[in-house]
Amino acid sequence: MKIGYLGPDGTFSHTAALRFAKEGNHETVQYQSIPELAAAAQNLSVDAAVLPIENSLEGGVNTTLDCLAFDCDLKITGEILLQVHQNLLSNSEKIIKIYSHPQPVGQCGRYLAKNFPSVPIVFTNSTAEAAILAQKEEGAAAIGSDTLADIYGLKIVAKDIEDANTNTTRFVVAQRDGKPDALADKTSIVFSVSDTPGALFKMLSVFDIFEINLVKIESRPAKTVLGEYIFFVDISGSAENDNIKMALETVRYKSTFFKVLGSYKEDKSGV
């Protein structure tokens, strides 16, 4: 099986893809952006895409959420939880510029404000790109994993600089013709509610009636007018289960936009 992930080498996506690929002895293929990666899974250039979907400090990864909801028709068939540690990487004594992907900047906001309040931060497309740029430039540093220090020949100036001890990124495995397997115990859906008083409350009451546990709810703009939202909801159980099937039929009937994003096995690796 061919597994696509977000490169370059040494990104957290790369680590997640390697962990997933190892289990099934799969081949991995690198892509430069989330839309390209999702499109590759859609047109079967790869059999599965490993997509970052949320981080415990920075929240949802908008591009992935929008891809899954609007732009492609992939099913989530698995998830990978990855404990994330950020480091300040540089070969310079005095740091006058920091390269970083926007997500780590959010995760390390307090560290940066305290230690580098007036040092300019230049955004990059990935943590690996930041490391590549920092390696080439006197006075520059990058934020990223310790793996990047090894790959791109940088020193770890400061270790574990994230604002909280528990910094976890969740990845999903998305496939075009993905079907839930017998072990699936978690289902992701997305729906919109009409802009009427109590509409979300009524929709959540469906899950209450069917005694279904919501493990996650996240809002994103519906991209129509300000104040209209779609909701990404994860529930316990498989969409193949009769009780859940009936509940989801009700949600589908009552919503203006509805999609089952997939049923899959929850990653309980204790991250």
Asked if 185 interacts with its own copies (CB under 8 A), we say no
Give the pair of three-digit tokens for residue 32.
Answer: 């430069």
Closer of 26 and 220 to its own copies (Cβ): 220
Closer of 47 and 141 to its own copies (Cβ): 141
Q: Which of 22, 155, 159, 216 binds its own copies (CB under 8 A)?
A: 216
Closer of 158 and 200 to its own copies (Cβ): 200
Render 141-189 in DSSP notation, one character per residue. Answer: EEEE-HHHHHHHT-EEEES--SSSS--EEEEEEEETT----TT--EEEE
Q: Which of 95, 109, 146, 156 binds its own copies (CB under 8 A)?
A: 109
Spell out the residues 6+ positions from residue 1 whose beta carbon is closer than 8 angstroms to its own.
24, 26, 27, 47, 48
Asked if 197 interacts with its own copies (CB under 8 A), we say yes
Q: Which of 1, 9, 73, 102 binds its own copies (CB under 8 A)?
A: 102
Asked if 72 interacts with its own copies (CB under 8 A), we say no
Asked if 91 interacts with its own copies (CB under 8 A), we say no
Considering the complex, what minimum distance in angstroms separates the CB of residue 123 from its own copies?
3
For residue 54, give Cα distances in angstroms to 69, 81, 112, 225, 261: 15, 10, 22, 24, 15
Q: In a 3-state reduction of DSSP, which class is residue 124? A: coil
Shortest CA distance to 174 belongs to which of 17, 41, 36? 41
Spell out the residues 6+ positions from residue 8 whose beta carbon is closer than 8 angstroms to its own.
14, 30, 126, 128, 129, 132
Q: Which of 73, 123, 150, 183 binds its own copies (CB under 8 A)?
A: 123
Identify which range of 9-17, 144-152, 176-184, 200-208 contacts its own copies by CB under 8 A: 200-208
Amino acid found at 201: F
Asked if 227 interacts with its own copies (CB under 8 A), we say yes
Which DSSP symbol is given to 236? E
Asked if 241 interacts with its own copies (CB under 8 A), we say no
- φ, ψ of residue 88 to 5 degrees: the values are -95, 120
Closer of 1 and 123 to its own copies (Cβ): 123
Residues 132-151 that bind its own copies (CB under 8 A): none
Euclidean distance between CA atoms 222 and 225, whole angstroms: 7
| Length of the chain counted residue by residue | 271
Torsion, CA 161, CA 163, CA 164, CA 170, rounded to 10: -90
Asked if 43 interacts with its own copies (CB under 8 A), we say no
Considering the complex, what minimum distance in angstroms separates the CB of residue 1 from its own copies?
27
Separation of first and last alpha carbons in the chain: 26
Identify which range of 13-21, 144-152, 211-219, 244-252 contacts its own copies by CB under 8 A: 211-219
Asked if 79 interacts with its own copies (CB under 8 A), we say no
Binding site for its own copies (CB under 8 A): 35, 54-59, 62-63, 66, 81, 102, 106, 109, 113, 121-125, 163-164, 166, 168, 170, 197-198, 200-201, 204-205, 207-208, 213-221, 223-227, 229, 271
